[in-house]
């Protein structure tokens, strides 16, 4: 896999995983015919932090994750790891990952991925603007003993 | 010792049916949905996720509903559930400098690069009951500032662009060598959910235990250090709340994908110095990182973390509880604590019978000796 293709797949797998499941289902209502290589399975991923933000890793706690692998009729294999316990989401994300490796990639990009990316950016932006409105400037009062 | 008992099935079934009825409360009042708890009792959900050690807001909300709002019981339900999940992987360490911050404050620098952001905080509220919440109605919309206007002047070089990195305050202090370093390293951390907790514990193991520990216990220990039992004189160098991406190496593909994100609260304290004849004085650090918006817990965690570091930093053991690793780590888990505490209410008839016999025997012996003496 070339570096660009590798980065591309990393990007779309992440976008599909982080998409609100209902939104992904609305954008991609019909799944192509496929066979399951690994039926959706829910488990846990241990999340790690770092001591002091930058130091040695430590275990922070687990999060629920669902994974799924499938193969389309044309042979393309799709994988998905998504946060949470939504099996339909994992299956749909795996199907979308497989479709991105077929000649439907361009259509998928325009009809699903670009939409999801724009919506994710808008959601992040909306939150950031609320945070920005609470940005504060503190002033230190001069106390009597300084005079 | 608890000894198994038989019987009582019908009474137990009836008790549980009544419990379900009591959980529902007055049927003329609308039932709470799990989504309502998740959205409107978010800080309770966060606490259950942090102490249950499983990030899943829907499950935490369900646990709170099932537990009738008893948060330790809810944590118990989550801990029990998590044992049924296969461990699929371990994530890469999260990068908190890349956090999309909702809140970021410093008690040490008013002009910290990147700016201070209050976020949705209880601070500066008057703690007066708001009776408008008892009436129906929509809250006023939160103000929003376009990101362009939010960008700070050049002097601090920071901005609020969510895609940009928000540097840690300790990083600025570290640039001048004023604070101890937290040098990157990648040794695999121990995991107390896989191996029994053994002492002495390194800092990664302590942090794992404390971040899932009981908020009340950690809070009280932290408070005890402020009152002088293992004092470390902490300032909140930085407190930040927001979402960070979680990257997992996908074994089928051999590369890492950001598969989701978690909300975290991170606290870094700046504490009093260490130094010697050969090394100049330097601030030291305590660290707290907790699932969800869990500000109190995260500050408390950094104070307790710092107190436990006395040996490593060459400080005196004053015998304070917060300096005693065994005391802190073996008592901070509220599920272990409540399990052992509450089991004493279960039938101990055989155990108690033997004690009863012993007391009777001792009394009889004493009486016999008294009579012999007379």
Provide the token pair at B173: 């202090």
- Radius of gyration, CA atoms only, chain A: 21
Asked casually if ipTM beats, i.e. exceeds, 0.85, the reply is yes
pLDDT at B360 over 50: yes
Q: From CA B140, how far away is CA B34, in angstroms rounded? A: 25
Which residue from A minimizes the CA distance to B52?
A61
Name the pLDDT band for A1 (thresholds 50, 70, 90): low
- Cross-strand bridge partners of residue A80: A68
Nearest CA to B46 out of B23, B78, B87, B68 is that of: B78
Residues of A in contact with B203 (CB under 8 A): 51, 56, 58
**Domain residue ranges in chain B:** 9-82, 96-119+149-332, 347-373
Please judge whether A49 and B185 are an interchain contact, meaning their C-beta atoms are less than 8 angstroms apart. Answer: no
DSSP codes joined into one string, A3-68:
HHHHHHHHHHHHHHHHS-HHHHHHHS-SPPPEEEEEEEEEEEEEEEEEGGGTSSEEEEEEEEEEEE
Is residue B189 a contact partner of residue A56, using CB atoms and an 8 Å limit? yes
Whole-prediction pTM: 0.91
Q: How far apart are CA B147 and CA A126, in angstroms?
A: 9
Q: What are phi and psi of B201, to 5 degrees?
A: -95, 145
Query: Residue B150 — very low, low, confident or very high, per pLDDT cuts 50/70/90?
Result: very low
Q: What is the distance between the alpha carbons of residues B209 and B222, in angstroms, rounded to a whole number?
A: 15
Chain B CB contacts of A133 below 8 Å: 142-145, 150
Look at residue A147 and tell me whether its pLDDT is greater than 60.
Answer: no
Helix (H, G, I), strand (E, B) or coil at B41: coil
Please indicate whether, in this complex, the C-beta atoms of A57 and B187 are within 8 angstroms of each other.
Answer: yes
Determine the residue among B78, B189, B211, B293 to mutate to test chain A binding: the one whose Cβ has the most chain A Cβ atoms within 10 Å: B189
pLDDT of the residue at B174: 80
Is residue B103 within 8 angstroms of chain A, CB to CB?
yes
| Mean pLDDT across A83-103 | 96
Tell which of B45, B80, B91 to mutate to test the A interface (max A CBs under 10 Å): B91
Q: How far is CA B316 from the centre of its chain?
A: 27
Per-residue model confidence as pLDDT tens digits over B180-228: 888 888 889 999 999 999 999 999 999 999 999 999 999 999 999 999 9
Q: Is there a contact between A131 and B101 if contact means CB atoms under 8 Å apart?
A: yes
- CB-based burial label for B26 (10 Å; 0-12, 13-18, 19+): exposed
- Does B137 have pLDDT greater than 80? no
Phi, psi of B3 (to 5 degrees): -120, 135
Q: Are B304 and B296 in contact (CB under 8 A)?
A: no
């Amino acid at each position: 896999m070339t570096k660009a293709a590798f980065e591309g797949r990393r990007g779309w797998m992440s976008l599909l995983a982080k998409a609100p499941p209902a939104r992904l289902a609305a954008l991609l209502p019909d799944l192509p015919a496929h066979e399951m290589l690994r039926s959706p399975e829910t488990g846990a991923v241990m999340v790690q932090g770092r001591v002091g933000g930058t130091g040695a890793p430590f275990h922070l706690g687990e999060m629920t994750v669902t994974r799924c692998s499938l193969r389309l009729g044309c042979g393309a294999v799709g994988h998905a790891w998504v946060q949470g316990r939504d099996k339909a989401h994992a299956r749909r994300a795996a199907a979308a990952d497989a479709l991105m490796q077929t000649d439907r990639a361009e259509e998928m990009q325009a009809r699903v991925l670009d939409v999801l990316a724009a919506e994710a950016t808008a959601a992040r932006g909306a939150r950031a603007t609320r945070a920005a409105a609470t940005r504060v400037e503190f002033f230190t009062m001069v106390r009597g003993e300084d005079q | 010792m608890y000894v198994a008992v038989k019987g009582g099935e019908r009474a137990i079934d009836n008790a549980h049916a009544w419990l379900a009825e009591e959980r529902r409360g007055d049927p003329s009042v609308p039932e709470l949905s799990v989504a309502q708890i998740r959205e409107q009792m978010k800080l309770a959900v966060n606490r259950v996720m942090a102490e249950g050690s499983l990030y899943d807001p829907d499950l935490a909300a369900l646990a709170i509903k099932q537990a009738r709002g008893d948060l330790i019981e809810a944590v118990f339900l989550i801990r029990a559930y998590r044992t049924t999940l296969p461990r699929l992987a371990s994530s890469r360490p999260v990068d908190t400098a890349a956090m999309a911050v909702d809140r970021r404050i410093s008690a040490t620098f008013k002009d910290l690069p990147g700016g201070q952001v209050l976020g949705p905080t209880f601070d500066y509220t008057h703690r007066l009951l708001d009776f408008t919440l008892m009436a129906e109605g929509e809250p006023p919309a939160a103000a929003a500032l376009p990101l362009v206007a939010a960008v700070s002047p050049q002097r601090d070089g920071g901005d609020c662009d969510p895609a940009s990195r928000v540097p840690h305050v300790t990083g600025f202090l570290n640039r001048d060598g004023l604070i101890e370093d937290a040098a990157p390293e990648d040794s695999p951390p121990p995991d107390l959910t896989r191996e029994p907790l053994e002492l002495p514990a390194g800092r990664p193991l302590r942090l794992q235990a404390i971040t899932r520990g009981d908020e009340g216990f950690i809070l009280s220990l932290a408070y005890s250090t402020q009152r002088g039992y293992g004092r470390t004189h902490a300032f909140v160098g930085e407190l930040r709340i927001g979402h960070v991406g979680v990257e997992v190496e996908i074994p089928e593909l051999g590369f890492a994908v950001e598969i989701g994100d978690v909300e975290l609260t991170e606290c870094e304290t700046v504490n009093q110095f260490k130094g010697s004849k050969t090394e100049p004085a330097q601030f030291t650090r305590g660290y707290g990182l907790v699932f969800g918006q869990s500000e109190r817990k995260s500050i408390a965690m950094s104070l307790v973390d710092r107190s436990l570091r006395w040996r490593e930093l060459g400080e005196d053991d004053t015998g304070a509880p917060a300096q005693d690793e065994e005391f802190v780590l073996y008592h901070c888990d509220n599920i272990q604590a409540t399990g052992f505490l509450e089991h004493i209410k279960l039938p101990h008839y055989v155990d108690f019978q033997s004690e009863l016999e012993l007391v009777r025997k001792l009394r009889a012996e004493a009486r016999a000796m008294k009579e012999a003496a007379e």
